[in-house]
Amino acid sequence: MLGIALTPEVIRLMTSFTAVGYELRDDPKVSKKPKLKDVPRGYGVQISFGATEIWTKFIIAPGIQRTVEQNPQKPSTITVPLDAERLEALMNDTLKYSDCAEYITRLINRAAEQTGKPPESTNIMGLFEKIKSQPKGGILFDRNDIPGHPEIPPVAGGGGWAWGWYPQGNAMINIYTLSYFSDNPRGASRIPYAYGERGVHEVIHLSAKGGLGYNDAELTKAARSLEPDGSFVDWDGALKNHCMPPQFR
């Protein structure tokens, strides 16, 4: 299709036009007297008169031209802040959802049974307080390194990590903070649930006697033995099924 190429500025101006009336104007260059002209081959006479122009009047409606943007603003990234106090509150909310707390107790006990490693406790919030009070550990955020242990390769990926032993006073968990795009409000709604589940997940790793004891493979085996036909890939998926609303998993 061929046509006139218009700039965004012209398009904005045109969409602002509002017709308010019209008037007729005679073309001064054309005679107003009628002219007679024989049509060839005897088909009659052609009569022509002076031309008249129709002029339409417009006004520019204020404000309308601003509704069209040439370069719409890109959505920004918003990080949801997190600290130990906020994490604790979100973990408490997570444990109150459905049968979450009961399921975690069964999961830890099954892992202990299968691995031969007894649990330190099945009380997640009790363990959280114990981790928080560790002199060389505690609750960390957005760390890829293990404090005090430069010999251990950096840890990255996933929602967080857990490390350390209670008798040595260096048990710790790390949670990575999350962000969402400003044009996606659902992302903002999901993040508190994700934080709560991540905190619970990492504490479970430190629920074995002495501290770090149950790894992902052992916990997935325990979860599968509890629900042989469960709809999950690994133990974290099973944990989400019991501890998060379906729309936020």
What is the per-residue pLDDT across 4-37, written as a single tens digit (0 to 9) for each?
Answer: 555 555 555 555 555 555 555 555 555 555 555 5
Domain count, the chain: 2
48 and 84 share a domain? no
pTM, 2 dp: 0.71
Asked whether residue 3 is assigned to any structural domain, the reply reads no
Q: Cα–Cα distance between 138 and 218 in angstroms, integer?
A: 24
19 and 93 share a domain? no
Asked whether residue 2 is assigned to any structural domain, the reply reads no
Q: Cα–Cα distance between 219 and 213 in angstroms, integer?
A: 10
Asked whether residue 215 is assigned to any structural domain, the reply reads yes
55 and 176 share a domain? no
Asked whether residue 199 is assigned to any structural domain, the reply reads yes
Asked whether residue 170 is assigned to any structural domain, the reply reads yes
126 and 223 share a domain? yes
Query: What are the pLDDT digits (tens) for 42-65?
Result: 545 444 445 555 555 555 555 544
146 and 35 share a domain? no
Instruction: Give pLDDT, residue 12.
Output: 54
Burial 68-97 (b: 16+ CB within 10 A, else e): eeeeeeeeeeeebebebeebbebbbebbee
163 and 96 share a domain? yes
Q: Cα–Cα distance between 84 and 214 in angstroms, integer?
A: 23
Instruction: Give pLDDT, residue 231.
Output: 96
- DSSP class per residue in 40-99: GGGTEEEEE---EEEEEEEEE-TTGGGG--SSPPPPPEEE----HHHHHHHHHHHHHSTT
Asked whether residue 44 is assigned to any structural domain, the reply reads yes
Full domain range(s) for residue 14: 8-67
Instruction: Give pLDDT, residue 156.
Output: 67
217 and 96 share a domain? yes
User: How many Cα atoms sit within 13 Å of 205 on the Cβ side?
Assistant: 20
Classify 27 as helix, strand or coil: coil
62 and 139 share a domain? no
Q: Write down which residue in 48, 67, 86 finishes a domain.
A: 67
Nearest to 53 by CA among 73, 30, 70: 30
Classify 214 as helix, strand or coil: coil
The phi, psi pair for 181, rounded to 5°, reads -85, 145
Instruction: Give pLDDT, residue 57.
Output: 57
24 and 144 share a domain? no
Asked whether residue 72 is assigned to any structural domain, the reply reads no
Instruction: Give pLDDT, residue 136.
Output: 96
8 Å CB contact between 56 and 24: no
151 and 30 share a domain? no
143 and 242 share a domain? yes
Q: Cα–Cα distance between 153 and 156 in angstroms, integer?
A: 10
| Positions in the chain short of pLDDT 70 | 1-72, 156
Give the largest Cα separation in the chain, rounded.
120
84 and 199 share a domain? yes
Strands 77-79 and 35-39, bridge-based pairing: unpaired
Q: Cα–Cα distance between 163 and 210 in angstroms, integer?
A: 11
8 Å CB contact between 131 and 173: yes
